[in-house]
Structure 1
Amino acid sequence: MTDARDPVTASGQEAAVTAASAALPAAAPVLSKPARSQWWDVWEQFRTHKGALFGAGIFIAIVALVLLGPYLWDVDPTKTNIRERNQGPGWGHPFGTDQLGRDIFARMIAGGQVSLAVGMTAMALSLLLGTLVGVLAGYFRRLDGVLMRLTDLFLALPLLPLLLVMVLLFREPLTAAFGVETGIFILIVSAIGITSWMQTARIVRGDVLALKEREFVLAARSIGTPSRRIITRHVLPNVLSPIMVSATLGIATAIITESALSFLGLGFPPDFPTWGRLLNDGVPYLQQYPERVFWPGLAISLVVLSINYVGDGLRDALDPRIRGR
């Protein structure tokens, strides 16, 4: 029996098969290439933001100096030496000394530790309260009215007078219970956190209101998934972006608020340095020794400015509409 196929057609099919088999090895590496994660896309967008990279570098440098400073500059920030008081910057004292002969550079390092600790702890408390109120108000309609009116009440209160009243009312009980330094730290962190959660709550509530009508949430609800599991597994991961942006901006707000309280003399005691306390100590000597106000003011400005740049970069990087361009 002879083959009835057309020789031209058969040769064309053999050529197509040969070409396809030759192309398979070249396509294999493309098919085996791992997919990029969402966080990699966020990093790719973040690294294109020059201001955010600059701010992150400045902030990391300040944090590293504050954490490693006591090991590199082993000087007691509370040690007084009247013979060396009011000295200008020099080799022995890079930032000079104050009216009691204490090394200002060592006090700047110690003050940075306190200011950053207050800022990060108060930010964590503020995010916890804001996220909790926002999720509950956005997901449970019966709680929305009560929680949002509570948010409006806190927004209507003047921030600085409220902080002053809280410090004056609870300063003595907390210092008597936990000691001076620990009690004031708890008081300032609690006061800042309790009075700065409202913006986060409003942002999270708006996102949750949109998310709970999405298909994946409705599907989870239709199969009987408990609300607690829906919130923790489906809602919270999708509101992580605004929470992270609020976290960066919350650190800056907390540092400025703590500095304002210390500058007014209602923060930490005089022998416990913070950047705001150093500003307060340098004001009476502003004309004779302006560097005493310049250094803590510069540190506060650099930290706040760098954190704001990082927050702007994260906001752009975490926005899928911008990442898709």
Structure 2
Amino acid sequence: MTEPSIPGVAARPPRNHWWDVWDQFKVHKGALVGAFFFLLIVFLVLFGPLLWDIDPTKTNIRSRNQGMSWAHPFGTDQLGRDIFARMIAGGRVSMGVGLTAMALSVIIGTFVGVIAGYFKRLDGVLMRLTDLFLALPLMPLLLVTVLLFREPLSAAFGPEGGIFVLMVSAIGITSWMQTARIVRGDVLALKEREFVLAARSIGTPPRRMITRHILPNVMSPIMVSATLGIANAIITESALSFLGLGFPPDFPTWGRLLFDGVDYLTQYPERVFWPGLAISLTVLSVNYVGDGLRDALDPRIRGR
């Protein structure tokens, strides 16, 4: 039923739910600034090689340890490699690991949370499994996983491909628990809503109930969890690379650049500053975007 039109007043088009989310998101100034910096970093990472056509692995001993200049905005390292080009290449790897590991953790966490929340007989088992993973020390577990599976995966997928698969798998499999708990709580609340009870009363099968009625209504916490998961995955990958257990030395990541720059910290502190700044900006930007999405997707805040 359409609303009656008022003479002299133009009819307002119906607003989409996402327009309301955007209006609330704009109120969060930190989220806007974070979104700007995050998009800027993504743009530089994706299109940087087209704008700065220098091979990040090319060595030039005659140009080693140079300071900032027009030819090398971030200077060169001990082998004469352009640090700016290596920052761009390292960002592609770090962001790729972060996004892929986040996707894996969100998929696992959503699956566990939905199944635990909807099927009461499986709730206890899945939540105890979640508690078990939460009780495990994350970094020692990742270190053991990397040391055990690095060689077999490198032999199967190559040095870079094997480490990428290992990083994504290790980070994704050890970071799904918070998503599972959040999704489970929302599913438990949704099960008592009228539209779910009505759909169940007409014999809707569980699979259709979950895909058509449950999942669309838990997308808000999933999106927030995914946003914050990117930051956690980037930090974890950088920590492993900084410890020398990440990608090989000739394959730059932000964490690897930090690791390589530590030996020259007193002479060339900028080698640690630039990758550290990139990691900090990315993580802060993603965290602010996650905070803004959490407020914008919360109906209690949006309705104020």
Question: 2:26 — aligned with what?
Answer: 47
The TM-score with structure 1 as length reference comes to 0.91
AA aligned opposite 1:144:
D
Question: 2:8 — aligned with what?
Answer: 26
AA aligned opposite 2:157:
F
AA aligned opposite 2:105:
S
Q: How big is the alpha-carbon RMSD for the aligned residues of Structure 1 and Structure 2?
A: 0.9
The counterpart of 1:117, out of the listed 70, 76, 96, is 96
- How much has 1:24 moved relative to structure 2? 5.5
3-state SS, counterpart of residue 132 of structure 1: helix
Alignment pair present for 1:228 and 2:200: no
Distance in 2 separating the partners of 1:78 and 1:249: 32
Question: 2:236 — aligned with what?
Answer: 257
> Which runs of 5 or more residues in structure 1 are unaligned?
1-22
Question: 1:144 — aligned with what?
Answer: 123
Distance in 2 separating the partners of 1:115 and 1:300: 9
> Which runs of 5 or more residues in structure 2 are unaligned?
none
Question: 1:20 — aligned with what?
Answer: none
Tell me which structure has the larger Cα radius of gyration: 1
Residues 34-64 of structure 1, C-alpha deviations (whole Å, 9 max, x = no match):
2111111000100111000000000001110
Distance in 2 separating the partners of 1:310 and 1:26: 41
3-state SS, counterpart of residue 8 of structure 2: helix
Identity, in percent, stands at: 82
1:24–1:218 CA distance, 2 compared to 1 (3 A): closer
Distance in 1 separating the partners of 2:162 and 2:114: 31
Distance in 2 separating the partners of 1:132 and 1:146: 14
Residues 192-235 of structure 1, C-alpha deviations (whole Å, 9 max, x = no match):
00000000000000000000111100100010000010101110
Aligned length: 300
Alignment pair present for 1:277 and 2:259: no
Alignment pair present for 1:312 and 2:291: yes
Distance in 1 separating the partners of 2:159 and 2:121: 43
Question: 1:164 — aligned with what?
Answer: 143
Question: 2:174 — aligned with what?
Answer: 195
Distance in 1 separating the partners of 2:54 and 2:224: 37
Distance in 1 separating the partners of 2:66 and 2:7: 74
AA aligned opposite 1:243:
I
Alignment pair present for 1:88 and 2:70: no
AA aligned opposite 1:51:
G
Residues 238-297 of structure 1, C-alpha deviations (whole Å, 9 max, x = no match):
101100000110000000000000000000000000000000000000000000000000
- How much has 1:25 moved relative to structure 2? 3.1
The counterpart of 1:70, out of the listed 23, 33, 49, is 49
Distance in 2 separating the partners of 1:188 and 1:120: 12
- How much has 1:68 moved relative to structure 2? 1.1
Distance in 1 separating the partners of 2:6 and 2:173: 62
Alignment pair present for 1:288 and 2:267: yes
Distance in 1 separating the partners of 2:279 and 2:6: 60
Residues 1-53 of structure 1, C-alpha deviations (whole Å, 9 max, x = no match):
xxxxxxxxxxxxxxxxxxxxxx96336x33xx321111110001001110000
3-state SS, counterpart of residue 25 of structure 1: coil
